[in-house]
Amino acid sequence: VTNHNHISALEKIIGKENILTDPHDTAPYEKGWRDDGGKAAFVLRPHNTNDVSRILSYCAKNNIHIIPQGANTGLVSGSTPDTSGAHCVLSLSRLNTIFHIDPINRTAHVGAGCKLSALNATLEEHGLYFPIDLGADPTIGGMLATNTGGGRFLKYGGVRENTLGLRAILSDEDGTLIDLLHPCRKNNTGPDLKHLFIGTSGAFGIITEALVNLAPLPQQTATALLIPRTPESVNTLLMEMERRCGNYFSAFEGMSGEAIKRALAHSPTLTNPFGRDAIPNYAILLELTRTWTPRVGEQPLTDILESILSELWAMPEEPLENALLGDPAKLWALRHALSEGVQKSGKLIAFDIAFKRGDVMNFLMQMHKQLPAQFPDIAICDFGHIGDGGVHFNLVVAKDDPRLSDNSFETNLRRWVYDCVVREYNGSFSAEHALGRKNQMFYDLYTPQNIKNINHKIKNLLCTGEISAILL
Ligand SMILES: Cc1cc2nc3c(=O)[nH]c(=O)nc-3n(C[C@H](O)[C@H](O)[C@H](O)COP(=O)(O)OP(=O)(O)OC[C@H]3O[C@@H](n4cnc5c(N)ncnc54)[C@H](O)[C@@H]3O)c2cc1C
């Protein structure tokens, strides 16, 4: 059976206008944010859960390998086809209905293709938002599939902690619907199967709808940049902030000077918060939020932050070298511009890794010491969610570096870094971007065989057809 036959059959299922075959039309679905992408046999764009079920049933019966795709902002080549031309992209972007907002339950029932920005725009009038914050605009389904973390994980947790329920379609001959769209916050009636689909990159099924937790929109925000005196001072500052700010504390984001310089160079509209002062080696973006406006006689949040910073200044171990209060919008604009600034400054070799919190700065210090000896002439441009132990450990190599023409250079470098993360620190080789073709070999390398066996059995139990870019 040729692609042509499959396309005709699938046209009958979802309509001709919802299948893309022209290379010009399929191109945007073939290349990821940070990968060169591949070639799709064709692209399917269903409108609802029922369409997805019928597509998966047909594909399972006909051995068509499907790659689910949301907004395609993932960073590990999980949402794009490989170069074989044998994979078909299933875009969920049209499942973008916002079905229901329940302000009392503080939940939203949305289609998997609904964009985060669209959901938050709709929620504004209810004074609510989906509290996962990041510098991209993903779909809710993609966020569930990757268990997105983001900048306010410290306060709200990740997607896993903010999902009440979902609907998913299995890749089997029936295109079975698994309905786990339960509205209760408490529900201990057996294993919580929704977690099979959260953070597993589509390998166990396609998420078509989700019921997500909402949080009251902050009405006051105060931000500052902290410059720690030493790398070790970062841990002191983190613990002190948690103790002194309690539930107001919402972000503690680390930014290396190298990453800041590249963001400022790439985006001329950004304001340099350090003015004429030198850009420090490391700065922390700190945020406090409160869900009410100042009451009569109550200190505004900025004043509270200022008092806390004075307390930190006065500490005998002197963890602070400097601190600058700043406009939240401007400081977050800088934070969110780091990713692109670093990417545009050379050939980027990026690692999304995590540690227990006390190890983050130790790892960074070790890398600054050892990397130049092992792999010279590479800039370390890290930043990350260090309040929860996450680091975007970005290495930038000059684009014309002759080592890049040798494929083994990047593989050896990755292996060397990940070995240190996983074997020396018991850290994670994929903190929040989940799995895709880019890190498949490290799943194969570091996942214990008995865990791989369980994953494989679950996959075989749920799916007879092939879905996802990853092999479990
Ligand atoms: C500038 C930038 C900043 C970022 N910052 C962060 C950050 O701070 N924290 C963070 O965690 N991530 C971050 N990311 C990564 C990315 O945005 C998240 O992983 C995002 O949640 C992916 O959503 P998406 O809709 O783009 O999914 P896609 O990229 O389209 O897909 C991601 C994965 O999910 C699968 N998938 C997509 N939709 C479904 C579905 N409905 N059912 C089953 N599987 C599906 C895909 O096959 C793929 O494996 C950032 C990305 C960029 C570009």
The pTM score is 0.96
Quote the pLDDT of residue 276. Answer: 83
How close is the Cα of 33 to the center of ligand 1, in Å? 10
Please give the Cα distance from 225 to 253 (Å, whole number): 9
Quote the pLDDT of residue 111. Answer: 98
Percent of the chain with pLDDT over 90: 97
- The pick from 73, 334, 463 for probing ligand 1's pocket by mutation, whose C-beta has the most ligand atoms within 8 angstroms, reads 73
Asked whether residue 2 carries a pLDDT value surpassing 80, the answer given is no
Asked whether residue 437 carries a pLDDT value surpassing 80, the answer given is yes
Mean pLDDT in residue range 213-241: 97
Mean pLDDT in residue range 27-38: 91
How close is the Cα of 198 to the center of ligand 1, in Å? 12
Quote the pLDDT of residue 36. Answer: 79
Asked whether residue 1 carries a pLDDT value surpassing 80, the answer given is no
- The pick from 119, 148, 343, 443 for probing ligand 1's pocket by mutation, whose C-beta has the most ligand atoms within 8 angstroms, reads 148
Render pLDDT for 131-163 as a digit per residue (tens, 0 to 9): 999 999 999 999 999 999 999 999 999 999 999
Quote the pLDDT of residue 208. Answer: 98
As a whole number, the mean pLDDT across the chain is: 96
Which residue type does 336 have? H
Mean pLDDT in residue range 46-72: 97
Write out residues with Cβ below 6 Å of ligand 1. Answer: 33, 67-75, 78-79, 92, 112, 134-136, 138-139, 141-143, 145-146, 148-150, 201-202, 206-207, 339, 432-433, 436, 468-469
* H-helix or E-strand spanning residue 178: strand 177-180
Q: Which residues pair with 392 in a beta bridge?
A: 352, 383
Burial class of residue 90, CB neighbours in 10 A (0-12, 13-18, 19+)? buried
Render pLDDT for 74-110 as a digit per residue (tens, 0 to 9): 999 999 999 999 999 999 999 999 999 999 999 999 9
Percent of the chain with pLDDT over 70: 100
Helix 301-313 / helix 233-245 crossing angle, nearest 10 deg: 140
Render pLDDT for 270-302 as a digit per residue (tens, 0 to 9): 999 998 889 999 999 999 999 999 999 999 999
